[in-house]
Amino acid sequence: MRDNTHTAKAMSMSSRTAGLIVLVAAVWFWAVFLSMHVLEPEFSPLIAPGSAYVLGAYGGWMTTTYFALSAALLSAGIGVAMNVPASAVTWVAWPL
């Protein structure tokens, strides 16, 4: 019985860590993306896609946002996978 409590607590901490990574990555993305509108007014946010900011003077900063979004997506997937009960469907879906 004690082992199950310890495992549930460990899962909760891993889920919390994954959630924190998602939150930090999302905040980073929006902070950089919104600052790009101020730093590079030559790109219209209504016409140009967000990836156009990569071509500007601060393109390196914008590039980091795509890595942050991929970390958020990966962490969200891992967090969900750790908390979904194991069944035949989840084992088939995990490699996909």
pLDDT tens per residue, range 47-85: 888 888 888 888 899 999 999 999 999 998 888 877 777
- The contacts of residue 52 (CB under 8 Å, 6+ apart) are 43
Q: How far apart are CA 67 and CA 43, in angstroms?
A: 22
Read off the tokens for 39: 């730093």
Q: Above 60 in pLDDT, residue 92?
A: yes
Mean pLDDT of the chain: 80
Q: Above 50 in pLDDT, residue 39?
A: yes
